[in-house]
Amino acid sequence: MDMEIPQSCDTFVVLPPLTKHGVVFGKNSDRPQNEIQEVVFYPASESSTSTKCTYIEIDAVKETKAVILSKPNWMWGAEMGANECGVAVGNEAIWTNDNDGEHDPHVKRLLGMDLVRLALERSSTADEALEIITKLLEKYGQGGPCSSTDLHFTYHNSFLIADPNGAWVLETSGKHWAAEKITSGYRNISNVLSITTKIDKKSDGLEEYAKLKSLWNGEGEFNFCEVFSGEKKPGDARYLAGKELLRKYTSLNTFRETDMFKVLRDKDSGICRTCENDFPTQGSQVSTLSSDRPSIHWFTATPDPSISVFKPFIFTKNAIISKHTVCPDNTSPHILYALHLKANTESNQVQELLQNMETNCVRELDQVIENVGEDLSEFDELLKDCVETEVKFYR
């Protein structure tokens, strides 16, 4: 029996002039029940001759960037993450009407999550990340089971790619794709195609391919969403609810990370999904991407952001994170995950303490980041300290 199509997974970006500082990126990662999501850090490195992704090996590059990733523990790729250059990427599952041959999502190729990690490891800007994903997509294709327990759970992918200067929405169907550049305002993606007629970059021969497959009659303006999903414009309720939340929270032009926390914690829209759900929110990320100050990346590393605490990470020369967000093997949960679930079934008083910790953390970082110089060594263990404080609260 095929796994239920997930009802959630949303990625957001808000840009100047609506923000207080820089570009604010946010994503909820909603995954199958009981799948563990870990937060891992990989320093910059020199690569070997090939890169072993979840299912296939691909050509390596000479050097990779330092990355922090929120990822299902069984796969190589990541649902979301950021790199040392201030690039953040998240992906969404989408389903299109083009699933034959080399576009068959059941065939093991690159997962959308592999493409997220590859883009982060190899890019210095959002433009570069877009080019890396599309080149790899065209060369290797996408596909393969996206669950370790259900081989029928497969899909194509859309991506939101951001850096301090702007963002791209990239939507795909097999090896074909369309991309929309976002330079101001806000944008969100969900489990539906959302690029219509504003296409700033696209795969070669996209329109000809659509005509060849009888997906488009060649008349009128080419509409990517309509051609590959049959919808003239995205009408999914959760996508529209996310758009409305962004409109609401950006109305004062002071949008910041705490506003993105609120968006990701919104239950009425279905954006935040509880631990009991078939597809709970297994992890969340918010990044403030800045060119004139250090970018700050916030991760929960635990399910359901409404009962989780966002903890900050800043890339430094000697950054380290806690072992408590990293799974010891492919089946066991990491310590923070296990303690978080236990605490929330016992409904103790830890929730209020953790909320205070998050509030204090935001306030203290605000004060420090304003005056920070070149030396960022005071942030080497920022995420580690926060995680270990949270673990102490639970124990």
The average pLDDT across 88-115 equals 96
Confidence band of 3 (pLDDT split at 50, 70, 90): very low
To the query of whether residue 386 is one of the catalytic residues in this protein, the response is: no
The string of pLDDT tens digits covering residues 336-394 is 999 999 988 776 678 888 999 999 999 999 999 988 989 999 999 999 999 999 999 99
Mean pLDDT taken over the chain: 95
Show Cβ contacts of residue 337 under 8 Å, excluding neighbours closer than 6 positions. Answer: 36, 37, 38, 301, 302, 303, 325
- Secondary structure letter of residue 205 according to DSSP: T
The reported pLDDT for the residue numbered 340 is 95
Percent of the chain with pLDDT over 70: 97
Confidence band of 100 (pLDDT split at 50, 70, 90): very high
| Residue linked to tokens 């990427």 | 89
Confidence band of 2 (pLDDT split at 50, 70, 90): very low
CA distance 100 to 214: 13
Burial of 61 (0-12, 13-18, 19+ CB in 10 A): middle
Structural domain boundaries of the chain? 10-394
Tokens read off for 6: 């997930």
| Residue 175, φ and ψ in degrees, nearest 5 | -95, 0
The reported pLDDT for the residue numbered 331 is 84
In b/e form, how buried is each residue of 170-184, taking b as 16+ CB within 10 angstroms?
bbbbbbbbbbbebee
The string of pLDDT tens digits covering residues 32-67 is 998 999 999 999 999 778 999 999 999 999 999 999
Residue type, 175: K
Query: How many CB atoms neighbour CB 330 within 10 A?
Result: 11
Distances (CA, A) of 385 to 17, 320, 360, 364, 374: 33, 10, 14, 14, 22
The CATH architecture assigned to 10-394 reads: 4-Layer Sandwich (3.60)
The kind and range of the H/E element at 116 are helix 112-122
The reported pLDDT for the residue numbered 6 is 58
Concatenate the DSSP letters of all residues of 60-109 into one string. Answer: --SEE--EEEEEETTSSS-SEEEETTS-EEEEEEE--S--SGGG-TTS-S
- Secondary structure letter of residue 334 according to DSSP: P
The string of pLDDT tens digits covering residues 159-187 is 999 999 999 999 999 999 999 999 999 99
| Residue 305, φ and ψ in degrees, nearest 5 | -60, -20
Q: For the chain, how many helices (H) and strands (E)? A: 9, 18
